[in-house]
Amino acid sequence: MRQLTFISPGNLEWREVPAPRLEADTDALVKPLVVARCDLDLYIAAGVVNYPGPFAFGHETIARVVEAGSRSGVSPGDVVVVPFQLSCGRCNACLRGWTNSCESYPFGAAYGLKPTSGTEFGGALSDLMRVPFADHMLVPLPAGVDPIAAASVSDNIADGWRAVGPQLEARPGASVLVVGGLAQSVGLYAAGAAVSLGAGRVLYLDDHPERRARAEAMGAQAEPLALAEGRQPEAQFEIVVEAAGDADALGFAMKSCAANGSLTSVSIHLGATTPVPLTRAYYKGLTFQTGRVQSRPTFPLALACMACGDFHPERVTHRVLPFAQAAEAMTDPGPKVVFTCNEIA
């Protein structure tokens, strides 16, 4: 079968590799229908994040089941969301909702990201993927939800959702600030999710005009961040999301967080160390969270909101292209590219 393979920054190629097969009665084989480019994919392809190749590429996907084990819980023809992280749903970590550190797999196990775990699990930009523990992993795409709109739901959409969803459940109508930047689509999804969940004021700050326009299309107020001009917080927000990946932006986010507020950093800070103004955070009593999203327990919540028509992540997508153009388009600097197979192109 064909598989898009990352070789080195700016160098991805389609290769012929052995097709996967069912290895257990809980396995399923799926054919990717749409694949979204994760924010991290862009930075790997551009060489900003140094991941050594070669490895299979792509991990945000909606797929169709083509073969199913007798205890897989799915049937051929089902259209499903495939979590990007591999998890069994049975171990102590999974039962506690920590599917990003399933005890059945090496830490960091994921499709399309071999360097995170040291193990190749295949990628979404391929003809077929093997999904183990399919009875746990795979989630049906709700009727009426466009696969192209939901293409990023297993990772970047879920990542934005987890930064505001639980927080707004605890504080209905709370004010939300999103500091945008490096994790560009994640920050936008967080802003859109906050609007859809009935937050009070939702302010999106970013020096990139196209991303500000997309935040406004999702119902948020948008302004330049302009930290270089010494900007100081104009208000205190109960819920703050830092998606900039920048130390100054993280400091600004902490300063902008109200007393007893919550701050979630959804961006990878790439420096060896990052200064954090903990004294201010201490006196404010902030709850600060960082780390990878728990994909499997999180994305069904975003899917449900999409099915109800309240959440519109498609407004973040700036290009929809066929699979054949994936290698060339992977370094497109825009916030979200979605690739489609011939079945729904």
pLDDT digits (tens, 9 = 90+) for 249-258: 999 999 999 9
Quick check: 206 and 212 in contact, CB under 8 A? yes
In the DSSP assignment, the letter for residue 323 is G
Mean pLDDT of 224-253: 94
- Nearest residue to 41 via CA among 53, 33, 26, 32: 53
> Is 335 part of any domain?
yes
> Is 177 part of any domain?
yes
217 has pLDDT over 90? yes
Mean pLDDT of 182-209: 98
Same domain, residue pair 63 and 203? no
- Nearest residue to 336 via CA among 34, 33, 4: 34
Same domain, residue pair 33 and 140? yes
Same domain, residue pair 73 and 92? yes
> Is 306 part of any domain?
no
Same domain, residue pair 34 and 131? yes
345 has pLDDT over 80? no
The reported pTM is 0.96
pLDDT 10s digits, 261-284: 999 999 999 988 999 888 989 999
The token duo for 232 is 């100081």
pLDDT 10s digits, 84-105: 999 999 999 999 999 999 999 9
CATH number of 229's domain: 3.40.50.720
Query: What's the count of helices (H) and strands (E) in the chain, helices before strands?
Result: 12, 16
Same domain, residue pair 235 and 168? yes
The boundaries of the domain holding residue 53 are 2-151+317-340
Same domain, residue pair 286 and 321? no
- Nearest residue to 5 via CA among 57, 42, 50, 61: 57
Same domain, residue pair 147 and 7? yes
Q: Residue 254: what are its φ and ψ, rounded to 5°?
A: -65, -40
- Residue 209 β-bridge partners: none
343 has pLDDT over 80? no
pLDDT value of residue 230: 87
> Is 243 part of any domain?
yes
The whole-angstrom separation of Cα 160 and Cα 124 is 21
pLDDT value of residue 280: 86
> Is 121 part of any domain?
yes
Same domain, residue pair 134 and 11? yes
pLDDT 10s digits, 18-32: 999 999 999 999 999
Residue with tokens 């609007």: 195
Same domain, residue pair 61 and 138? yes
> Is 301 part of any domain?
no
Same domain, residue pair 272 and 324? no
Beta strands in the chain (DSSP E): 2-8, 11-16, 28-36, 55-56, 60-68, 79-82, 129-131, 139-140, 176-179, 202-205, 221-223, 237-242, 257-265, 287-290, 319-322, 337-340
Same domain, residue pair 12 and 137? yes
Same domain, residue pair 252 and 284? yes
CATH number of 55's domain: 3.90.180.10
pLDDT 10s digits, 282-334: 999 999 999 999 999 999 999 999 999 999 999 999 999 999 999 999 999 99
